[in-house]
Amino acid sequence: MTDSPDDDDGPRCDNCGDPIEASPNRRVVTNLEDGEAAYSNFCDDDCLEEWRS
C-alpha cells in the first residue's frame, strides 16, 4: 500500500492559505533569507499580486 498525497502535506498559498495543487496557474517566488533559499507559494497571479501589495 502506498501513501497518497494529502492536502495537509503539500504547500499552501502564502496569501489565502488554500492548498496548492499542481496547476499551470501556480506561482513560486524564491528569496534568500539568512543565506538560505526560501520559497513562497501562490495559487495564481492574483494571490501573488495581492501578497505583494
Residues 47 and 13 sit within 8 Å (Cβ to Cβ): yes
Closest among 35, 41, 33, 38 to 16, alpha carbons compared: 41
Give 30-45 pLDDT, tens digit per residue. 999 999 999 999 999 9
Cell of 2: 502506498
| End-to-end CA gap in the chain | 45
Query: What's the pLDDT score for residue 15?
Result: 96
pLDDT band at 6 (very low <50, low <70, confident <90, very high): low
pLDDT tens per residue across span 9-28: 788 999 999 999 888 899 99
Q: Are 37 and 11 in contact, with CB atoms under 8 Å apart?
A: no
Please report, as a single letter, which amino acid is at residue 32: L
Give the 3-state secondary structure of residue 38.
Answer: strand
pTM of the model: 0.72
